[in-house]
């Protein structure tokens, strides 16, 4: 069975999504809605990382439950590079790029949750199915938030 590989990838993807959301929150802290909502959504992914780590043991994987998007050295360097690029652009364009990144990442994570849920259902692993059914709707809401913010902001940013 390859469920361990899927769980490892899902753990990595959720951790990256949490990190991206925290970077977006920090980068756009003057926009209070973006700051607070992105931090709340990052906590969802951090919780997903813990749930994945807890269940992964049963599938032969040892995953860090605290690997929930906090910046390590490489991530910090990457963020500084992004920050420098962001200074060269208008804040509105940077926000749209960041929201696009969140949307694409959350959409990919949602697909991973769907694959895991379908497999868990087929092999009748109800514990794994429960995790997928708890986490996937939140991931869809993360993507939905980013998409809504893109719709709300894109015309004003791109026309002015």
pLDDT in tens, 8-58: 999 999 999 999 999 999 999 999 999 999 999 999 999 999 999 999 999
SS3 66: coil
Instruction: Enter the DSSP assignment of 58.
Output: G
Contact by Cβ (8 Å): 117, 137: no
The structural domains of the chain, ordered by start, are: 3-153 (1.20.1260)
Sequence-distant (≥ 6) Cβ neighbours of residue 42 within 8 angstroms: 17, 18, 19, 21, 22, 25, 68, 69
Q: Encode pLDDT of 69-116 as tens digits.
A: 665 434 554 455 555 544 546 889 999 999 999 999 999 999 999 999
Pairwise CA distance, residues 144 & 56, whole Å: 27
Mean pLDDT of 62-72: 74
Structure confidence at residue 160 as a pLDDT band (50, 70, 90): confident
Tokens read off for 122: 């087929």
Specify the residue for token string 């973006």. Answer: 34
Q: What is the pLDDT of residue 54?
A: 95
Length, in residues, of the chain? 160
Q: Which two tokens stand for residue 137?
A: 């709707």
- Retrieve residue 118's tokens: 């379908």
C-alpha–C-alpha distance, residues 128 and 62, integer Å: 16
109: tokens are 């994570």
- Give the containing element (helix H, strand E) for 77: helix 73-88
Compute the distance between CA of residue 65 and CA of residue 52 in angstroms, rounded to an integer.
8
What's the pLDDT at 1?
72
């Amino acid at each position: 069975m390859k469920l361990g590989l899927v769980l490892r990838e899902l753990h990595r993807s959720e951790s990256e999504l949490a990190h991206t959301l925290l970077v977006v929150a920090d980068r756009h802290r003057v926009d209070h809605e973006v700051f607070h909502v992105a931090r709340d959504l990052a906590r969802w992914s951090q919780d997903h990382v813990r749930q994945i780590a807890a269940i992964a043991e049963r599938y032969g994987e040892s995953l860090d439950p605290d690997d929930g998007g906090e910046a390590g050295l490489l991530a910090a360097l990457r963020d500084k590079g992004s920050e420098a690029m962001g200074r060269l652009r208008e804040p509105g364009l940077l926000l749209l790029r960041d929201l696009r990144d969140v949307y694409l990442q959350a959409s990919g994570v949602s697909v991973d949750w769907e694959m895991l849920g379908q497999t868990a259902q087929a092999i009748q692993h109800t514990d794994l199915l429960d995790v997928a059914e708890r986490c996937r709707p939140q991931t869809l809401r993360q993507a939905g938030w980013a998409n809504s913010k893109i719709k709300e902001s894109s015309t004003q940013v791109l026309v002015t």
